[in-house]
A and B are shown apart, each in its own frame.
Chain A
Amino acid sequence: MTTATIPISPQALAGTGKRPARRVLPGFNLTLGYTLFYLSLIVLIPLSALLFKTFTLTWAEFWTAVASPRVLAAYRLTFGASFLAALFNVFAGLLLAWVLVRYDFWGKKIIDALVDLPFALPTAVAGISLTALLAGNGWVGQYLEPLGIQLAFNANGVVIALIFISLPFVVRTVQPVLEDAEKELEEAATCLGASRFQTFRYVIFPGIAPALLTGFAMAFARAVGEYGSVIFIAGNMPMVSEITPLIIIGKLEQYDYAGATAVATVMLGISFVLLLVINGLQSWQRRRAGGKT
């Protein structure tokens, strides 16, 4: 493949839809081949194995496996709690990223590093520590329980565990975008008489909205699949606080491989659709923001 070496700015490209003309990595064929091979090995083959196993079921068996009342209750909890946790983290994560980017204070580096802790910590450890903290006899739980607030061993516990494990995704996607945001625009807005809220609403927010959405999507996807941390804090009562991954484990314990993969397939399907919607929203947002500036 021969390539022209005229540098083209990304803005010019966005309209034309052409491939970038200058490539840093040589050998498109080789790199694409490698990409496809690697993706197949790590992602596509395991996922198709999942589907193959599911296909051993008849349609009726599949339906009873994925649509029994217990399983439906588990989907509701898993997706509902993941959604709440991701939504919460959009606000909490934005705040954290904001503080980390815009202010200098003592211990900033440590706080910055702490954000990544949920990435590194084994999730079971997180679950056990959260439970120890929030259970009726825990440090925090002992003060909340008399007030009638029970955070561990019910759906609340699930949401809290999911908030914990998905927080870094929002912070780490929003942070670099905030860092790159041009201060001059804000200054200009202020000079033109915009209030602080107006500056945020019309200048800052459109710039970081795609990143926030990405962070939301990643946090959500991560939370949906979470098992380790939730299992210790949920209480795991059927119809109340049983997450879908536990249903899958339960089916495996019964040697019901096909049933387990069937539920997993449904989860994968729902997640895929949700991510697609979020991606759609994001590109719509980007186009809108792009059109304005």
Chain B
Amino acid sequence: MKFKQNITLALAAIGLTATTFVSAQTTLLNASYDVAREFYKDYNTAFVANYKKTTGKDVKIDQSHGGSSAQARAVNDGLDADVVTMNTTTDVDFLASSGIVAKDWAKRFPHNAAPTSSTMLFLTRNGNPKGIKDWNDLVKPDVKVIVVNPKTGGNGRMAYLAAWGYVRKTGGTDAQAAEFVGKLFKNVPVLAKGGRDATTIFLQRNIGDVLITFESEVVSVDREFGAGKVDAIHPSVSIIAENPVAVVERSVAKKGTAELAKAYLTYLYSDEAQEIAAKHGIRPSNPKILAKYSSTFKPIQLFAVSDYFGSLTEAQKVHFNDGGQFDKLYTVK
């Protein structure tokens, strides 16, 4: 074990030489997931200005983005991030299990420590030629669905669970849900590696009739490919995907940035930050601001992971781990 630690330390040292050089000024490193890059860029500017105004101190926020669980692994293996802002609770739970964030991280901030959330929507080609309205339309034989591989992306896990939950919410049993999800994945010609990969396959390679993805991706697609290329379809039922945040206790203890880290995450709940999130297509937890942006966040029936799956960790075990429900879709003929 000592040996393993040494390796980890060596790797951490290599990774950190870049950040330690600028540590004279108080810097905070936020390890976050891929598609939150633009949101946190705007948020950091707002936070730095506000922090200067209220405390008179200058701070600098560094961002590190990658796949959500890849980021969690990096932090686990020694990346000195002060805070983690992820897109699935599983990733923070993993860090809690190794003692790097507090065990009760979900109670440290309001709304289960999730200042924002998102949900799964459908994107169809302009004009919705196949007339896709709801989950039922995705299992029709002539519809090709683009979705992320649940094995490699949280986006895909959420899409899978949303489809499963749709059947349960409309009165079906688990067996019916399994059949439904099986049919849906039969209509998948290509399993994307991650959220952005899925968008590329759908829009640049022109494969598939519908893309299941996070609501926030609609804003990115419009910005990247021009408005009007896709229609956002709100199904009758979808899932709440919470975006949990946590202080990395190991790093803040070492760097003495506990206060700042806490302030950074707390400010995510401020009206200003919630508005920034809404502009990026991420659902704010503040109901007033959510209502204000109701044209973006059309009201749909949302269910929580805990309604049907216990928790994400539980769902991971039953559905996505090797030999689980998802593997059966492909290995049992």
Contacts and interface: CB of A to CB of B under 8 A. Distances in A.
Interface in A223-252: 231-232, 235-239, 246, 249-252
A58 interface: no
Interface in B59-94: 67, 69-70, 72-73, 94
B254 interface: no
Contacts of A65: 322
A137 B323 CA distance: 36
B331 to A, nearest CB: 5
B33 to A, nearest CB: 13
A251 B193 contact: no
A235 B322 CA distance: 20
Q: How large is the interface on B (under 10, 10 to 19, 20 to 34, 35 or more residues)?
A: 20 to 34
Interface in A121-158: 131-132, 135-138, 152-153
Contact of B94 (A135, A138, A232, A255): A255
A239 B330 contact: yes
B112 interface: no
Contacts of B152: 236, 246, 249-250, 253
A70 interface: yes
A259 interface: yes
Given A254-B321, A255-B73, A70 B327 contact: yes
A132 B316 CA distance: 34
B141 to A, nearest CB: 18
Contacts of B67: 253
A131 B330 contact: no
B207 A135 contact: yes
B323 A64 contact: yes
Given A70-B330, A236-B149, A246-B152, A137 B191 contact: no
B193 to A, nearest CB: 6
Nearest to B98: A255
A136 B205 contact: yes
Contacts of B189: 153, 235
Contacts of A237: 188, 190-191, 330
Contact of A49 (B7, B149, B151, B205): B7
A68 interface: yes
A253 B72 CA distance: 10
A213 B38 CA distance: 50
Contacts of A68: 322-323, 327, 331
28 contacts: A52-B3, A64-B322, A64-B323, A68-B323, A69-B331, A70-B327, A131-B205, A132-B204, A135-B206, A136-B207, A152-B205, A153-B207, A232-B197, A235-B189, A235-B190, A236-B190, A236-B192, A236-B193, A237-B190, A238-B330, A238-B331, A250-B152, A252-B70, A253-B69, A253-B151, A254-B316, A255-B94, A256-B322
8 tightest A-B contacts by CB? A238-B330, A250-B151, A235-B190, A135-B205, A137-B206, A69-B331, A236-B191, A253-B69
